[in-house]
A and B are shown apart, each in its own frame.
Chain A
Amino acid sequence: MNLPLAPVRMLGDMIRIRVFEERCAELYGQSKIRGFLHLYVGQEAIAAGIVPQLSADDALLGTYREHGHALIRGVPAGQIMAEMFGKATGCSGGRGGSMHLFDASRHFYGGNAIVGGHLPVAAGLALADVVLGRISRVTACFFGEGAVAEGEFHEAMNIAALWDLPVLFCCENNLYAMGTSLTSSESQTDLALKAAAYEMPSWVVDGMDPLAVAESAHRAINTIRGGGGPVFLELRTYRFRAHSMFDPELYRNADEVEQWKKLDPIQKLSDLLLEREQVTAAEVDEAWAAAKDETQDAVDFAEAAPLESVDTLEQHTYAGTDQ
């Protein structure tokens, strides 16, 4: 199989996310990060397998669990961390926090915290590309399976399919919408079927396997760039940590979590590449060390960053208030 992404790169990217997220959890405990904090631990294969395949002109939208997508898109880790520290040099100027990372220069449009709300927006970004004749651009929209219950999901799927819009819908099915399980909230739990009902190519992907994710994303993106309209991927995954830092996890048992942790995408890919001698143990160690350095630099940057002056409070409400 010709891999669209080098497995070593995917391993490194997953490790970067893992280290960054674990550090965020610590910083939350130290009250450096406040508000809601949703970690991506366990789901790294999806961002690592898809985001690097997008070109610089493509657009990306994520949910409030978007640190990993932002990081892999190239938003500097320091700016992401500074945003969570509420600092002026954060990627949203301290206005957004963990749930609202933005980087317009990289076409990274959030960080959206209304479940399902960014799906119609993704369709609109793609519509502009079509109407303005920017051929072969793709808009990638990441969301959780909880969004499937929202009306905006269905409205956006219909509009995207009806108008053949170049959107890659990435449904990260981690089985729980906060504490509501998929089986207790959906009459049809095969989510790819829902997309198929809109005449959209759709299929299920093992979201714990970065190689499978990358391969499916490659196929989907090629279809979309070739004018084939939108594609829906249901990426079956699991978050190893709680929904947010306020979640006592009363809705799932520890055994289930432990079973899924055996499928840890970082461990599995690392073992595979070692076995195939595509990496050495030293190189894996180096990847972890590099990720720790990157995260430490990000924390140092965020710590040293200035707070936004309260005098600027009303800025960015309207264009006229920008300075």
Chain B
Amino acid sequence: MTDTGTTYREAMRTAIHEALATDDRVIVMGEDVADYGGTYAVTKGLAETFGTARVRNTPLSESGFVGAGIGAAINGMRPIVEIMTVNFALLAMDQIVNTAATLRHMSGGQVGVPIVIRMATGAGRQLAAQHSHSLEGWFAHVPGLKVVAPATVRDARWMLPAALADPDPVLIFEHANLYGTRGDPGLDPVSLTGAEISRPGDDLTIISAAGMVGKAVDAATQLAADGVSVEVIDLRCLRPLDSETIRRSVDKTHHALVIDEGWRSVGLSAEIAADVSEACFFQLDAPVGRLATVEVPIPYAAHLEKAAIPQVDDIVAAAQRVRAGGLVDA
């Protein structure tokens, strides 16, 4: 991440602005998206430009307005629905899982739901246990949904148009700590599928997503000083997972470490570790390592919160254990 360039927040806002300006079917709806500008100021100023009919404040009714977004999507619109944080999305779980994800299949292909649902995720701002969780993996479990997690300014800028062009429901998870990060959004569209190599390397593959990618890259820099060449993969898309890119990397490095800001048990890291173990079993020189958030509701106090989430030093230590052939948490 650099100190110059566009912020992740601005990149996202530019994407929404462009969508509103170029497609009459696009509306933005959610809690305080209009005058307030969104909890994380992503939609700031858009209501002034496009009016409150298209940048539409909703009541505090997550299930109600996500369901309304689904209905609007069925009926010819391309709604961008903002949910303040993934914890609040649980109030709309019914609409997301029982309606958005099922309608196409349940109707025999007649009814698609081209909705985009954006929400903040992740810890690190001392917001405690009802505003800090990383539940992307829950949604990535569900057939019928597409789940992406932009980790870069480029993806923050370009995943939205790809999501709007997609005929199926797309959930965009924006790590709240990334909004102020800067980078070059570039000029080229991106795909909604496929992982990317954030930093190439030869000795160990670190698989990460969203807020963990930057930490993994920092850890890789430290490890390089110790002579360990780390390849960092930014998953970008949690559903569908890009197993092929992971496999190619692990076939080269023979070591894999999965970093997840979600909890370890029955989570995303378990899925990826299992996938690597199945696909690369005979290429691995050591058991697949996993580093995830400590199994506790995220606490408020800064030092406790920091201890709960994987930090750069934790990643370095875990990488060294994998390199040494040991189990990370054993």
Residues of A that sit less than 8 Å from B by CB: 59, 90-96, 100, 102-105, 109-112, 114, 117-129, 131-132, 139, 151-152, 155-156, 158-159, 162, 315-319, 322
Is B75 touching A124 in the complex (CB atoms < 8 A)? yes
Contact assessment for A128 and B77 in the assembled complex, using a CB-CB cutoff below 8 Å: yes
Residue pair B71, A120 in contact (C-beta under 8 Å): yes
Q: What are 5 inter-chain pairs, A to B, with CB distance below 8 A?
A: A90-B108, A92-B106, A120-B65, A127-B68, A152-B64
Query: Which segment of B52-60, B124-132, B256-264, B266-274 sits at the interface?
Result: B52-60
How long is the Cα–Cα vector from A129 to B53 in the complex, in angstroms?
13
CB B63 to nearest CB in A, in angstroms, measures: 5
What are the residues of chain B within 8 A of A139 when measuring CB–CB?
71
CB distance from A180 to the nearest CB of B (A): 19
Residue of B nearest to A323 (CB): B109
Q: Please, how many residues of chain B have a CB less than 8 angstroms from a CB on the other chain?
A: 44
Q: Within 8 Å CB of A317, what residues of B?
A: 104-105, 143-144
Instruction: Give the segment of B93-101, B151-159, B315-323 that binds chain A.
Output: B93-101
Q: Interface digits, B31-75 against A, CB 8 Å rule (1 contact, 0 not)?
A: 000000000000000000000011000110101111111111111
CB distance from B238 to the nearest CB of A (A): 15
B184 CB, nearest partner CB in chain A, Å: 31
| Minimum CB–CB distance for B88 against chain A, Å | 13
B-side contacts of A114, CB under 8 Å: 94, 98-99
Complex contact A121–B70 (CB within 8 A): yes
List, in ascending order, chain A residues with CB within 8 A of B79's CB.
124
Across-interface contacts of B146 in A (CB, < 8 A)? 318
Q: Measuring CB to CB, which residues of chain B are less than 8 angstroms from any residue of chain A? A: 24-25, 27, 53-54, 58-59, 61, 63-77, 79, 94-95, 98-99, 103-112, 143-144, 146, 166-168
Query: Is A159's CB under 8 angstroms from B68's CB?
Result: yes
Check A152/B106 contact, CB under 8 A, given A124-B72, A159-B58, A159-B61: no
User: A93's closest neighbor in chain B, by CB?
Assistant: B108
The 10 closest A-B pairs by CB, nearest first: A124-B71, A120-B67, A93-B108, A155-B64, A128-B75, A124-B68, A102-B107, A155-B61, A319-B167, A316-B109
If the complex has contacts A128-B77, A319-B112, are A121 and B104 also in contact, measured as CB distance less than 8 A? Answer: no
Given A118-B99, A319-B168, 5 more pairs with CB closer than 8 A: A95-B108, A117-B95, A121-B70, A124-B69, A125-B75
> How many angstroms from the CA of A131 to the CA of B25 in the assembled complex?
8
Residue of B nearest to A315 (CB): B109
Give the Cβ gap from A68 to chain B, nearest Cβ, in Å.
Answer: 19
The answer to whether A319 and B108 touch (CB under 8 A), given A121-B71, A121-B99, A159-B68, is no
Please name the residue on chain B nearest to A119 by beta carbon.
Answer: B67
Closest B residue to A122 using CB positions: B71
Which of B25, B74, B107 makes the CB contact (< 8 A) with A92? B107
Contacts of B166 in A (CB 8 A): 319
Chain B residues with CB under 8 A of A156:
64, 67-68
With A90-B108, A95-B106: A124-B74 Cβ-Cβ less than 8 Å: yes
| Complex alpha-carbon distance, A158 and B106, angstroms | 28
How far apart are the CA atoms of A303 and B299 in the complex, in Å?
Answer: 60
Verify A125–B108 contact, CB threshold 8 A: no
* Residues of chain A with a CB closer than 8 A to B95's CB: 117, 120-121
Q: Pick the contact of B77 from A91, A121, A131 — CB < 8 Å?
A: A131
Considering residues A100, A158, A318, A322, which has the most beta carbons from chain B within 10 angstroms of its beta carbon? A318
Q: Which of A125, A132, A162, A318 contacts B74 (CB 8 A)?
A: A125
Residues in B neighbouring A111, C-beta threshold 8 A: 106
List the A side residues contacting B54 at CB < 8 Å. 131
Is A159 within 8 A of B105, CB to CB?
no
By a CB distance below 8 angstroms, the chain A residues around B25 are 132
User: B144: shortest Cβ distance to chain A, in Å?
Assistant: 6
**Bound Cα distance A119, B107 (Å):** 18
| Closest-CB distance, A307 to chain B (whole angstroms) | 13
How far does the alpha carbon of A123 sit from the alpha carbon of B75 in the complex, in Å? 11
Residues in A with CB closer than 8 Å to B111 are 102, 104, 109-110
Nearest B residue to A113 via CB reads B98
A132 to B76, CA, bound (A): 9
Residues of B within 8 A of A319 (CB): 104, 112, 166-168
Q: Across the interface, which residues of B come within 8 angstroms of A127, CB to CB?
A: 68, 71-72, 77
Q: Once the chains bind, are A318 and B168 in contact (CB under 8 Å)?
A: yes
Alpha-carbon gap, A120 to B71, bound state (A)? 7
CB neighbours (8 Å) of A126 from chain B are: 71
Least CB distance, B105 to chain A, in whole angstroms: 5
**Which residues of the partner chain A approach B58 to less than 8 Å between Cβ atoms?**
159
Return B305 CB to nearest CB of chain A, in Å. Answer: 31
